[in-house]
C-alpha cells in the first residue's frame, strides 16, 4: 500500500491524542486563516484564484499531500464582470483507502461598504476572528488543514483518504469549478460540503439561484449642448426597474415544501432582487449604457426555464423599443434531498467536535444556494454531507464577517473524527462492506 502523505496510518495514536494535538496546534489554524483572508478571491471578478492556489500548495507541502491544478476553460465561465484564470486545486492523500472529498469554494463575495477595518486583514478580538471569508469559507479550510496537521503529527490511522476540492465561482458564478470537476469525472468517494453551518443540522436541500445582467443601451451626448442627440440609458431603464419591482412581491408569494430552519418565521419563499446597477460616467455626459444585475432564487419545485422566461418577458414588455441585452451571468441548480448512508456517522462526528446531543439535530433546507445541484446532476450521486462555520452571529456576506477559534477547533475535531479509523466503524458503510466481504 502506498503510504504517501500524512505519515499514513502508523497506528501509533488514538483519536483522543489527535484531539489533544488539535488543541495544541490551534494557533497554526489562525495563522493559516490570516494568510488566506489576505488573498483577495472576491467574485466578481474572481481574479485571485491562482494566488490562492499558490498559498494552498505551500500549506499542503508540509503535509506531503499531492496537489493538482484543474483549469476551467474560459468559454464555459466567461460572463460580464468575471476575469482571471479559474484555477481549481485538488489536494489529496493516496494510500488506497476509500476517498472522502472535502469540498470548499475559495471565492468570497466582494467586501460591502461598512467594514470597520481592512476586510483582507484578519482582525482578532479575543476568540473572535473577523475578515472577509472568515466564516464563508476560508475558516473551514483552516479547520480541515488543522485536522490533517494533527493526523500528520500523531500518525492517526485514517479510514478515508482525504481529497480537498478547492473550487472556484460558487458565489453565483456561471460555471462553478466543482461542476467542471464533476462533469470531468474527477470526484471520488462521497463528499463533505463545507458550505453550511456549524449547527446540529441535517441538510434537506436548498434553492437554486440565477443572475441576469440586463444591459440597456442609450446614446451618449453632451448633457448641456446636444441633449436632443442623446438617449439617457439610466432614465430609459426606469420602466424596467418598475416592472421588476412589481414582479418581486408576486414571486415572494411562492413557497417551498423544503422544511425551513428552526428560527424561520414561516416557509421558505422564492425571491427576486435588483442586486446592482452600474451606469454613467460624469455630469456633463448623457449616459449611453446602464447594467442592472437581477438575482432570482427559485425553489426546487419551480422550473428554471419558466422562472427565467418570466423575468425576461417582464423586461421585454417594459423596454418598449429600447435596445436591451439580457445575459445569463450565473446559475446554481437546486440541490435535491442529499440524504444517504453516511449521514448518521457524520452526525456522530459533528457531536464529537461540537458537543451536540442527538436530540438537538433537526432537518431543514435553505433558500441559500449551493453548487451541488450540478454535482448531483453530473454524477448521479444524491448524498452530500454538509457542515461549515456559519452561525446566526457570523455576519456572512456582510461587514464584520467572523468566526471563532473555538469553532475552528470544534470543526477540526469533527472532521478528524469522521476520517479516523477508530471512530464508530459500525456506522461506516465502507467498513461494513469490507467486513461482509471478509466474512
The CATH number that applies at residue 282 is 3.30.70.360
Let me know if residue 361 belongs to a domain.
yes
Answer whether residue 341 is part of any domain. Answer: yes
β-pair type (161-167, 271-279): unpaired
Is residue 230 situated within a structural domain? yes
Q: Is residue 4 part of a domain?
A: no
Provide the CATH number for the domain around residue 64.
Answer: 3.40.630.10
- Does a structural domain hold residue 226? yes
113 and 54 fall within a common domain: yes
Is 317 in the same domain as 355? no
The confidence score (pLDDT) of residue 384 equals 97
Q: Is residue 316 a part of any domain in this protein?
A: yes
Question: Which contacts (CB < 8 Å, 24+ apart) does range 74-77 have?
Answer: 76/174, 76/175, 76/180, 77/169, 77/173, 77/174, 77/175
CB count within 10 Å of CB 119 equals 24
Q: Is the domain of 213 the same as that of 298?
A: yes
In a shared domain, residues 27 and 160: yes
398 plus 295 within the same structural domain: no
Question: Counting every residue, how long is the chain?
Answer: 439
**Do 340 and 322 have their domain in common?**
no
Residue 146 and residue 77 share a domain: yes
| Whole-model pTM over 0.85 | yes
Residue ending a domain, choose from 332, 358, 387:
332
pLDDT value at position 229?
A: 83
- Whether 257 and 353 map to the same domain: the answer is no
Domain boundary among 303, 332, 361: 332
With a CB cutoff of 8 Å and minimum separation 6, the contacts of 190 are 100, 101, 340, 342, 381, 383, 385
Query: Within 10 A of 4 (CB to CB), how many other CB atoms are there?
Result: 13
Q: What is the pLDDT of residue 60?
A: 96
Considering the domain architecture, whether residues 315 and 411 belong to the same structural domain is answered as: no
Assess if residue 86 is contained within a domain: yes
Tell me, yes or no, whether 28 and 44 share the same domain. yes
Burial of 379 (0-12, 13-18, 19+ CB in 10 A): middle
Same-domain status, 242 and 199? no
What is the residue range of 224's domain? 208-332
Overall number of domains in the chain: 2
Does 90 lie in the same domain as 198?
yes
How is residue 287 written as a grid cell? Answer: 449616459
Divide the 439 residues of the chain into consecutive groups of 10 and give the mean pLDDT of each group.
47 86 98 98 97 98 96 96 96 96 98 96 97 98 98 96 98 94 97 96 97 96 80 94 98 97 93 96 92 97 98 96 95 96 97 96 95 97 97 96 98 98 94 62
Amino acid at each position: 500500500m502506498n503510504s504517501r502523505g500524512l505519515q499514513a496510518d502508523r497506528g501509533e495514536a488514538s483519536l483522543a491524542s489527535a484531539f489533544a494535538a488539535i488543541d495544541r496546534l490551534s494557533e497554526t489554524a489562525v495563522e493559516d486563516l490570516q494568510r488566506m483572508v489576505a488573498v483577495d478571491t472576491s467574485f466578481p471578478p474572481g481574479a485571485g484564484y491562482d494566488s490562492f492556489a499558490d498559498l494552498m500548495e505551500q500549506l499542503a507541502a508540509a503535509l506531503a499531500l499531492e496537489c493538482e491544478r484543474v483549469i476551467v476553460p474560459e468559454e464555459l465561465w466567461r460572463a460580464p464582470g468575471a476575469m482571471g484564470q479559474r484555477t481549481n486545486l485538488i489536494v489529496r492523500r493516496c494510500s488506497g483507502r476509500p476517498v472522502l472529498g472535502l469540498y470548499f469554494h475559495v471565492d468570497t463575495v466582494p467586501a460591502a461598504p461598512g467594514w470597520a477595518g481592512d476586510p483582507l486583514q484578519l482582525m482578532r478580538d479575543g476568540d473572535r476572528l473577523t475578515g472577509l471569508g472568515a466564516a464563508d469559507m476560508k475558516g473551514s479550510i483552516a479547520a480541515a488543514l488543522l485536522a490533517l496537521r494533527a493526523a500528520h503529527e500523531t500518525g492517526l490511522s485514517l479510514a478515508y483518504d482525504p481529497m480537498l476540492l478547492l473550487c472556484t465561482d460558487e458565489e453565483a458564478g456561471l460555471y462553478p469549478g466543482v461542476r467542471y470537476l464533476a462533469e470531468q469525472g474527477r470526484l471520488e468517494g462521497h463528499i463533505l460540503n463545507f458550505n453550511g453551518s456549524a449547527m446540529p443540522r441535517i441538510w434537506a436541500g436548498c434553492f437554486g439561484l440565477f443572475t441576469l445582467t440586463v444591459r440597456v443601451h442609450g446614446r451618449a451626448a453632451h448633457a448641456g449642448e446636444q441633449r436632443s442627440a442623446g438617449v439617457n440609458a439610466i432614465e430609459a431603464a426606469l420602466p424596467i426597474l418598475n416592472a421588476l419591482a412589481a414582479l418581486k412581491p408576486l414571486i415572494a408569494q411562492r413557497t417551498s415544501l423544503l422544511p425551513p430552519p428552526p428560527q424561520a418565521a414561516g416557509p421558505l419563499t422564492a425571491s427576486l432582487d435588483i442586486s446592482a446597477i452600474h451606469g454613467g460616467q460624469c455630469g456633463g455626459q448623457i449616459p449611453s449604457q446602464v447594467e442592472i444585475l437581477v438575482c432570482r432564487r427559485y425553489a426546487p419545485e419551480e422550473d428554471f426555464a419558466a422562472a427565467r422566461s418570466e423575468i425576461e418577458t417582464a423586461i421585454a414588455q417594459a423596454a418598449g423599443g429600447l435596445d436591451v441585452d439580457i445575459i445569463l451571468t450565473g446559475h446554481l441548480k437546486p440541490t435535491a434531498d442529499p440524504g444517504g448512508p453516511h449521514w448518521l456517522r457524520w452526525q456522530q462526528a459533528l457531536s464529537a467536535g461540537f458537543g451536540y446531543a442527538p436530540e438537538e439535530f433537526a432537518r431543514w433546507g435553505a433558500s441559500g444556494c449551493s453548487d451541488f445541484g450540478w454535482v448531483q446532476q453530473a454524477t448521479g450521486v444524491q448524498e452530500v454531507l454538509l457542515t461549515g462555520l456559519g452561525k446566526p452571529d457570523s455576519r456572512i456576506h456582510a461587514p464584520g464577517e467572523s468566526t471563532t477559534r473555538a469553532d475552528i477547533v470544534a470543526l477540526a475535531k469533527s472532521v478528524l473524527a469522521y476520517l479516523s479509523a477508530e471512530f464508530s466503524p459500525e456506522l461506516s458503510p465502507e467498513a461494513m462492506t469490507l467486513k461482509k466481504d471478509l466474512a
